[in-house]
Structure 1
Amino acid sequence: MPNTWVPLPTDSGYGIDNLPYGVFTTDHEPDRPRVGVAIGDFVLDAGAAARAVGAPLDVLDAPSLTALMAAGRATWRGVRASVTTWLTDPSRRASVEPHLIPRRDVVLRLPFEPADYVDFYASEHHASNLGRIFRPGTEPLSPNWKHLPIGYHGRAGTVVVSHTPIVRPSGQRKAPTDAVPSFGPTRRLDIEAEVGFVVGAGSELGTPVGLDGFADHVFGVCLLNDWSARDIQAWEYVPLGPFLGKSFATSVSPWIVPLEALDAARVAPPARDVEPLPYLDDRAAEPWGLDLSMEVRLNGHVISRPPFASMYWTAAQQLAHMTVNGASLRPGDLFASGTVSGPEVGERGALIEITWNGENPLKLPDGSSRTYLEDGDEVTITATAPGPNGTRIGFGEVSGRIVAAR
């Protein structure tokens, strides 16, 4: 990869090997969202740059990423190659440089229009921890867990961009010792540190997408926080699963890292002790495990470093399972990995695990403690991945601050 003429901080996760896509506005044009590309401490106004160099790339001259995403893999590759050329060829600098905007001067928006949202449950460590919490003395994993990627359908309309305030949800709650349920704000508001996968190219209803179709349909990767009201969830989830305890908000990071930028981060998933059915069998396929290093901060304090490489089910297997019944894909479909947790206490991606359902309160450096989130708390999830030649691919952050119930 050639060097860029854009000045880069030495520790930038937004180098020429990354080039994530987002959507932004500026203070003087707050009602004109535009497609942007992160490079160093700048955001490239991609549509304006395309016009400046005379490139016929209408998919970049748009208020969201949806048109680019829907165009398919050949277009994704072509656009990425073009943007790379603009930012590395010195002869293009005079045309392109005026369309670089300092990142501090832009407002990042929700980068795509969510179509459907599916959340999975793919970490064996997370699933086992929850099984031990809620079913002590029994087998922690359900009998189907190692045979298929378990998931549920969420609410696409409540997917929000990073830094959107999270209103504490209300609903029914019933503790085991309560005679009847009560109604009110959740007392057990939690986080789930996850990775999201954004679908670009759609598929035909009735036609499954196999493991080998993953890169043809998934446009890129973002960070995701699947906020969870554990007391509401515990009362409602039998027998049909998560509903109001999850659907009030899901936060995503504003930058979508192209799948192509993650070639150096691909790793084999953990060894599996149950042979998957053929449509999920990736042993002979190129691996789609990803070596992402994640970090979770609560009010600025690091509370966890979940390792994404430990996830039992890969995103390619999740997509294959999600469509094996013939369900179609649409541009903007979002599916999430499920909580990322590793084998160590400091690698757990949710407070329910970190505090063992409140039994072991989390001690913060400022002297306070938490079992679950309080109003005013802010949670920030960040991640990086290996890039070529020792570089790091940055994902930015997904943050949210809790505000009181309405």
Structure 2
Amino acid sequence: MPEPTPLALPEGHPFGPHNLPYGVFSPGDAPRRVGVRLGDHVLDAGSLAAELGSPHAALLTGPTLNPLLAAGRPVWSEVRAALTTWVTDPVHHPAVERHAHPLGEVSLHLPFEVGDYVDFYASEHHASNVGRIFRPDAPTPLTPNWKHLPIGYHGRSGTVVVSGTDVVRPSGQRKAPADPAPVFGPSVKLDIEAEVGFVVGVGSERGRAVPLEAYREHVFGLCLLNDWSARDIQAWEYVPLGPFLGKSFATSVSAWVTPLEALETARVVPPARDEALLPYLDDSSAEPGGYDLRISVEINGEVVSEPPFTTMYWTAAQMLAQTTVNGASLRTGDLYGSGTVSGAEAGQRGSLLELTWNGERPLELGSGERSFLEDGDEVVLRAWAPGAQGVPVGLGEVRGTVVPGA
């Protein structure tokens, strides 16, 4: 049987010419380079662009996506249009095949150099579940500020890792409410957070807020994100300043960044607002700011949840506006996460904290009962979005295995 070619794709393939996400790869021991996924192959974008005389070849030949990210939306559109032509016009197919590598024969790397990392808390269902778990006697599960602004915290960009990187179980202080004093040791409540990450291309000037309508001029695309969480460490340390060691040990992202242009047909209106928003967050007359992304969460090969991104109360544009409204600047490669994606149903929760109700209702898996993650557990997030004519747009996967700490 002849080897499959990158151009011989079955109808409806989620990584066809309608998608073309960007990543960074290396064939063997060769230097890292920008790649574009087509089917089960990765195209050496820089070498292909150079052979075909693209004026943007230099943006595609380095070891990260950052030069392309910084180039701005007009260039992003030109590069995408050229790539689409190259993979759909038969005159270019010999060149495409010369610069294609089977995915199984390359290594995939963190696709961009991360600037700053911000994580949000944008799912009303997730925030409500957390409120019910930890504040069961409160009159309402949401904090008073929740429906007035996207809540977030600044994380650690140096521990953002690419899919496939092992996650070392973190250690730290933990103290249950009934314990007389804190103890130090490995986390016993290691969790996941199924999220979507947004990748900033063009930076902004310090002192100037980025308005809602400028979102698409600054954000290049999105990726899947798993913000691993040590719930026991977090519970003891976070009052009064918020997440620190319980979050900063690892954040996994997919190897592929899907450009916003590939997701035009997946845009949807966010949930109805039931509190009036201040003008800088008011999207009542804006273009649809939500995305119809279908996420699945697997633990050791079993799907345990399917969170829908359509339910997210705050949009990516609102999160970006909130990040900069105080005058904080953006940098190329900045990453911000949506926070845990959870839906209204029990099978749509994006964390074990919710799925097991803080360990009170363990999951029954083929690999055994789970309240939180054990060493050796592998977690995989996958997602897709509806595309034109019903063809799905694949968002890749985020894969990570828990390994014991030193």
TM-score, reference length from structure 2: 0.97
In structure 1, what residue type is equivalent to 2:369?
S
Stretch deviating more after TM superposition (349-358 or 20-29): 20-29
User: Does residue 1:8 correspond to 2:6, yes or no?
Assistant: no
Deviation at 1:95, TM superposition (A): 2.3
Q: Which residue of 2 aligns with 1:404?
A: 404
Between the aligned partners of 2:218 and 2:198, the Cα distance in structure 1 is 10
Residues 5 and 93 in structure 1, CA contact (< 8 A), matched pair in contact too = no
Paired AA for residue 52 in structure 1: E
State the Cα distance separating 1:28 from its structure 2 match: 4.3
1:380 maps to amino acid = V
2:311 maps to: 310
Name the residue aligned to 2:375: 375
Matches within 5 A, 1:196-275: 196-275=197-276
Q: Provide the residue aligned with 1:73 in structure 2.
A: 73
- How big is each residue's C-alpha offset from its partner over 1:369-397, in whole Å with a ceiling of 9 and x where there is no partner? 10000000000000000111111000110
- CA shift, 1:316, in A, is 0.4
Alpha-carbon shift at residue 11 of structure 1 (Å): 5.0
Where 1:273 maps in the other structure, the secondary structure is coil
| Structure 2 CA distance for aligned equivalents of residues 295 and 7 of structure 1 | 27
Alpha-carbon distance between aligned partners in 1 of 2:175 and 2:288, rounded to the nearest angstrom: 43
Where do 5+ consecutive residues of structure 1 fail to align? Answer: none
Q: Secondary structure at the match of 1:222?
A: strand
Find the aligned partners of 1:357 and 1:40 in 2 and give their Cα distance. Answer: 40
- Structure 1 runs (4+) greater than 3 angstroms displaced: none
Q: Is the 8 A contact 1:5 1:88 kept in 2?
A: no
Corresponding position of 1:362: 363
Contact between 1:384 and 1:392, CA under 8 Å: does it hold in 2?
yes
Aligned residue pairs, count = 400
In structure 1, distance between residues paired with 2:312 and 2:286: 17
Q: Distance in 2 between matches of 1:51 and 1:28?
A: 22
- Work out the CA distance in 1 between the residues paired with 2:397 and 2:334: 20
Q: CA deviation at 1:6?
A: 1.1
The CA distance in 1 between the partners of 2:257 and 2:395, in whole Å, is 8
Post-superposition shift, 1:56? Answer: 2.3
- Name 2:44's counterpart in structure 1: 45
Q: CA deviation at 1:241?
A: 0.4
SS of aligned partner of 2:128: helix
- 1:112 corresponds in structure 2 to 112
Note the aligned Cα RMSD (angstroms): 1.1
For 1:302 and 1:357, locate their aligned partners in 2 and report how far apart those are by CA, in whole Å.
19
Residue 179 of structure 1 corresponds to 180
Identical amino acids, percent of aligned pairs? 64
Q: Report 1:68-217 matches (<5 A).
A: 68-138=68-138, 139-217=140-218
Structure 1 residue 117, shift from structure 2 partner: 0.2
The letter of the residue matching 1:393 is V
Q: Quote the offset at 1:365 in angstroms.
A: 3.1
The secondary structure found in structure 1 opposite 2:215 is helix
The aligned counterpart of 1:34 is 33
- Consecutive unaligned residues of structure 2, counting only runs of 5 or more, are none
Contact 1:5 1:87 in 2 (8 A): no
Equivalent-residue separation in structure 2 for 1:56 and 1:129 (angstroms): 51
Contact kept, 8 Å, 1:53 with 1:96, in 2: the verdict is no
Cα deviation per residue 1:283-306 (whole Å; 9 max; x = unaligned)? 100011000000000000000000
CA distance in 2, matches of 1:318, 1:362: 33
SS at match of 1:389: helix
Query: For residue 283 of structure 1, what is the aligned residue in structure 2?
Result: 284
Specify the alignment match of 2:343 in structure 1. 342
Shift of 1:26: 1.2
Aligned CA distance change for structure 1 residues 329 and 359 (closer, same or farther; 3 Å): same
Give the letter aligned to residue 204 of structure 1.
E
Distance of 1:247 and 1:5 partners within structure 2: 38
